[in-house]
């Protein structure tokens, strides 16, 4: 027998001793078991590592782990981030044909979209119970409606943001667009995509911090969401600086726009690389 609590199941007899929430979302719970021991469920920790409140172990897994979904998420985000950073790097952007720069951004956005969708799949298939529910199957969900979970919202909004980047970068490759078309098909999707990334990164930050603020640099998950939030802020600055002035047809500041993209991409690149060691992080949940 199991009892339904929030959006996940826990075994009969487990008592919730502590619950951390962000708005309507539960991000962590600590349980007292019938034998007197304690177990802790943490939303991101359980989704990314597949275990609950285990002691630190040294697994020494290699960086090459293509059989794991988390590894593909990290690898695809790293490639997409690298291509965005390359497209904004002055030496490359100034010396390479503009069409190649446009293709670089567009291909990078495709890698972002693939990574974001796999992250969404990871979220909707997360085994959220601290102990597997009886009769639970192994069928993989490709899409699901789970609005009671903060990680579902974060993954969903980020996926929408990557699609908007697809539209923006694809449209930017057309040099024949009028100013109005550039505003509608290039700048607007870029701005909306940046806003989506800001929302998604903020939700991920709240999930890890279990609130508005927490300072914990040694924690791998904290470093990842901090880098992603910083990268999203940089992308947002880039989008604002790329606004096209109606009077002159020129963007507000090309250097600031490129710098924001470059800094944001580097932040996401480092954050994506940390996703791999995060999979093996078994440090006790604080």
For residue range 98-156, list pLDDT tens digits in order: 999 999 999 999 999 999 999 999 999 986 545 444 444 568 899 999 999 999 999 99
Q: What SS3 state is found at 30?
A: strand
CA distance 234 to 142: 31
Residue 151 lies in a domain: yes
Domain count, the chain: 1
CA distance 18 to 74: 32
CA distance 260 to 283: 34
Burial class (CB in 10 A: 0-12, 13-18, 19+), 282: middle
What is the Cα 242 distance to its own chain's centre?
A: 24
270 contacts 277 by C-beta, under 8 angstroms: no
Residue 64 lies in a domain: no
* Number of CB atoms found within 10 A of residue 211's CB: 12
Domain containing 171 equals 69-278
Q: From first to last of its 286 residues, what are the pLDDT tens digits of the chain? A: 333 344 457 788 899 999 999 999 999 999 999 999 999 989 998 888 765 554 444 455 678 888 899 999 999 999 999 999 999 999 998 899 999 999 999 999 999 999 999 999 999 998 654 544 444 456 889 999 999 999 999 999 999 999 999 999 999 999 899 999 999 999 999 999 999 999 999 999 999 999 999 999 999 999 999 999 999 999 999 999 999 998 888 999 999 999 999 999 999 999 999 999 998 875 555 5
228 contacts 268 by C-beta, under 8 angstroms: yes
83 contacts 107 by C-beta, under 8 angstroms: yes
CA distance 185 to 167: 7
Query: What's residue 8's pLDDT?
Result: 58
Residue 172 lies in a domain: yes
- CA angle at residue 227 from 223 to 228, to 5 degrees? 120
Question: Could you tell me the CA-to-CA distances from 111 to 104, 107, 227 in Å, in that order?
Answer: 11, 7, 19
129 contacts 9 by C-beta, under 8 angstroms: yes
Residue 164 lies in a domain: yes
Question: Could you tell me the CA-to-CA distances from 116 to 80, 140, 153, 278 in Å, in that order?
Answer: 11, 17, 12, 17
Residue 178 lies in a domain: yes
Which stretches within the chain are classed as H helix?
A: 43-49, 69-88, 90-95, 98-124, 150-172, 179-182, 188-209, 220-241, 254-278
Write out pLDDT tens, residues 41-66. 899 988 887 655 544 444 556 788 88
Residue 283 lies in a domain: no
Residue 25 lies in a domain: no
pTM of this structure? 0.90
- Percentage of the chain beyond pLDDT 90 is 74
């Amino acid at each position: 027998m199991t009892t339904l609590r929030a959006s996940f199941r826990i075994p009969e007899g487990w008592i919730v001793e502590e619950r951390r929430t962000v708005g309507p979302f539960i991000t962590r719970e600590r349980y007292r078991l019938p034998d007197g021991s304690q177990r802790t469920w943490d939303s991101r920790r359980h989704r990314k590592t597949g275990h609950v409140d285990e002691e630190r172990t040294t697994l020494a897994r290699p960086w090459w782990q293509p059989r794991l979904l988390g590894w593909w998420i990290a690898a695809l985000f790293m490639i997409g981030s690298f291509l965005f950073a390359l497209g904004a790097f002055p030496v490359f952007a100034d010396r390479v044909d503009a069409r190649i720069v446009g293709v670089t951004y567009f291909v990078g956005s495709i890698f972002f979209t693939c990574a974001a969708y796999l992250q969404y799949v990871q979220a909707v298939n997360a085994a959220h119970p601290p102990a597997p529910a009886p009769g639970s199957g192994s069928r993989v969900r490709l899409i699901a409606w789970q609005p009671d979970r903060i990680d579902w919202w974060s993954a969903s909004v980020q996926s929408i943001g990557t699609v908007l980047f697809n539209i923006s970068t694809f449209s930017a490759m057309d040099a024949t667009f009028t100013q109005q078309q550039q505003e509608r098909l290039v700048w607007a999707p870029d701005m909306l995509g940046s806003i989506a990334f800001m929302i998604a990164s903020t939700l991920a930050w709240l999930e890890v911090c279990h609130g508005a603020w927490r300072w914990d640099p040694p924690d791998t998950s904290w470093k990842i969401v901090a880098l992603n939030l910083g990268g999203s802020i940089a992308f947002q600055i880039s989008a604002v600086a790329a606004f096209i002035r109606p009077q002159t047809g020129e963007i507000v500041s090309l250097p600031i726009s490129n710098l924001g993209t470059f800094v944001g991409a580097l932040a996401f690149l480092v954050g994506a690389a940390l996703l791999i060691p995060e999979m093996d992080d078994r440090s006790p949940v604080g």
